[in-house]
Amino acid sequence: MRIAFEGVSFSYVDPVHQEKRRKRARRRREAGVIEQPTSLAEHGRPAWGSDPEGTWALCDVTFSLEPGEFLGLAGHTGSGKSTLVQLINGLLRPTFGTVLVDGRDLADGKVAAAVRGKIGLVFQYPENQLFAPTVAEDVAFGPRNLGLSDDAVATRVREALRSVHLDPDEVGEKSPFELSGGQQRRVAFAGVLAMEPEVLVLDEPIAGLDPVAKEEFLQLIAELHSRGIAIVMVSHNMDDLARLAERIVVLNNGRVFALGTPVEVFARGDELRSVGLDVPQAQKLACELRECGFDLPRALYDTATLATDLAPQLSRRTKNALPGAGADAALPAPAGHAACASPAASAAPGDATPLAADSKEAGRA
């Protein structure tokens, strides 16, 4: 299933009415009838974040989700991420532009009804949506509403619970509220998977979990993707997106700020920081180590690859620091790593990523 956003803009209010309201408020401020908030008068607007008087939650958004792809979605609070995922599912309709699912307009009610079961949406803290007296009944709610037979529903329930590593014989007849928080979230996932979606949209799926449960859920999400399910994952954790996503969309004030592979997106470290985001922790450390003379040639690092490249250099430096080490064994510091804003800058000139190249052109302008 392919989902395409074509020039999508969305407003929760009537844009014409909102513009009239803003003009009226501006005239009243200028006339002294109302005062500008003290915080804005003293400090001005923040460098990033949504304008509280803004009209558009999303503005001219264009991208596509390819079949079986893992797409990360990042952005500061209020950047439009939750609005976008509701547009993917057909819960909202664009004010302008088009959302196409396999070439069909999702604004068409019949199309939305036909594909909604194939686009599973898991909100933040999905365990808060559990309601049935038993786990099996809760997971069965969606398939039963599709009009399936009792046998077909029972089969889907068992398969869905197994897919999230829960034993249907052990937990099926329990109340979901007797389970641990992590197990409750697995049951909520199973309720969506029982619909057999082709696309799974996850809005901060690991929010509020302890480190062990978080890692288990990330492995579960990767496993679901390996089965051919397309994933859209909203996250503030850049390490998780770098680890799992094939492409990343970064939103800022409702617009697409960056779109590309993790290597391309995280090559724009300074630009990401300007909109309240950052690069993954391992990548940030790699940038700092380059400035200290370590040879770290990869464009994007995670913890494992950084340890692999760093260990032999640390070993050599330790040996060189021992008494009697020869001066000719000193480790040379590589040149060309004066700044760590753009790790891709350490690559050869012809190896620059598209986004990095665009950033350089913008800098020259």
26 shares its domain with 159: yes
Residue 348 pLDDT level (bands cut at 50, 70, 90)? very low
> At 223, phi and psi to the nearest 5?
-65, -40
The C-alpha atoms of residue 254 and residue 250 are separated, in whole angstroms, by 10
Domain assignment present for residue 150? The answer is: yes
Q: Confirm whether 269 is domain-assigned.
A: no
Q: Tell me, yes or no, whether 252 and 298 share the same domain.
A: no
Per-residue pLDDT for 7 more than 90? yes
Q: Which of 21-35, 72-86, 104-118 has the lowest mean pLDDT?
A: 21-35
Query: Does residue 241 share a domain with residue 100?
Result: yes
Which residues constitute the domain of residue 82? 3-35+47-260
Q: Structure tokens of 51? A: 């304008």
271 domain-assigned: no
Whole-model pTM over 0.85:
no
For residues 192 and 322, state if they share a domain: no
Are 226 and 285 found together in one domain? no
Percent of the chain with pLDDT over 90: 63
Q: How confident is the model at residue 350 (pLDDT cuts 50, 70, 90)?
A: very low
Is residue 288 in some structural domain? Answer: yes
Q: Considering the domain boundaries, does residue 55 fall inside one?
A: yes
- Domain for residue 342, yes or no? yes
* 204 and 90 fall within a common domain: yes
Q: Which of 228, 260, 292 marks a domain boundary?
A: 260
Helix (H, G, I), strand (E, B) or coil at 231: strand
By percentage, how much of the chain surpasses pLDDT 70? 79
Question: What CATH number is given to the structural domain containing 27?
Answer: 3.40.50.300
Give yes or no for residue 5 having a pLDDT over 70.
Answer: yes
DSSP 8-state code for residue 128: G
Q: What is the mean pLDDT of residues 304-322?
A: 88
91 plus 129 within the same structural domain? yes
How many structural domains are present in the chain? 2
Identify the DSSP state of 322. Answer: S
